[in-house]
Amino acid sequence: MTALPVLQPPPTHSVEGIARVVSVVGDQIWLEPEQTTSCGHCASSASCGTREAAGVGTVASRLQARRFVLETPDGLGGGQKFSEGDRLVVGVSERALLKAALTAYGLPLLFALVSASVVQGLYGEDATTLLGMLGGLALGLLAARLNARRLAAKGELAPRFVRRARPDETCGTV
């Protein structure tokens, strides 16, 4: 009799990025994502607010709005201490990103299309189908909001500390 092979769990892949520590408050590290080198160099950069001036819609204000917090429970960073200005590599699992995308886009679209199909089959009128689709979209957005809260409560969408960033490391070299 031969033994069955032990199945190993697949390696956890994550989408990583570099963030700078902007504040350490108790057990929380406030991070701000670093600006990517390509941002501000596209054809629409003049209208998207990537100019370096201060104010609403600028790089500084948009980055400040994107600040996020990492809790520092026991074991984060192997007991490392973090200070303002440190550069960290943080990651979110690919599975979590897929769940978030399906929640944000898939659920509302599914609800809208299914409700439109049902209403079209029952009534066969375009105006009624459109109203049914809008109702389904509203229900889908509600379902997405509830599912996003559930995912957030479980901590699945929270970024994780991966390692300290090398001094020469940029977002594109992670």
What is the CATH number for 40? 2.40.50
Weakly modelled stretches of the chain, pLDDT under 50: 1-11, 50-54, 74-75, 173-174
User: Is 109 within a domain?
Assistant: yes
Dihedral through CA 138, CA 140, CA 146, CA 151, nearest 10? -140
Do 45 and 74 share a domain, yes or no? yes
Do 118 and 130 share a domain, yes or no? yes
pTM for the full predicted model? 0.63
Whole-number pLDDT of residue 9: 42
Please give the residue range of the domain that contains residue 173. Answer: 14-92+158-174
The set of residues, in sequence order, having a beta carbon less than 8 Å from that of 141 and lying 6+ positions away, is 108
Whole-number pLDDT of residue 38: 58
Tens of pLDDT, residue by residue over 154-174, are 887 888 887 887 877 776 544
Q: Could you please report the per-residue DSSP string of the chain?
A: -PPPPPPPPPPPPEEEEEEEEEEEETTEEEEEEPPPTTTT-STTHHHHT-SSSSSTTSHHHHHHHT-EEEE--TTGGGG----TT-EEEEEEEHHHHHHHHIIIIIHHHHHHHHHHHHHHHHH--HHHHHHHHHHHHHHHHHHHHHHHHHHHHTTTTS-EEEEEPPTT--GGG-
Do 115 and 67 share a domain, yes or no? no
User: Is 4 within a domain?
Assistant: no
Tally of domains in the chain:
2
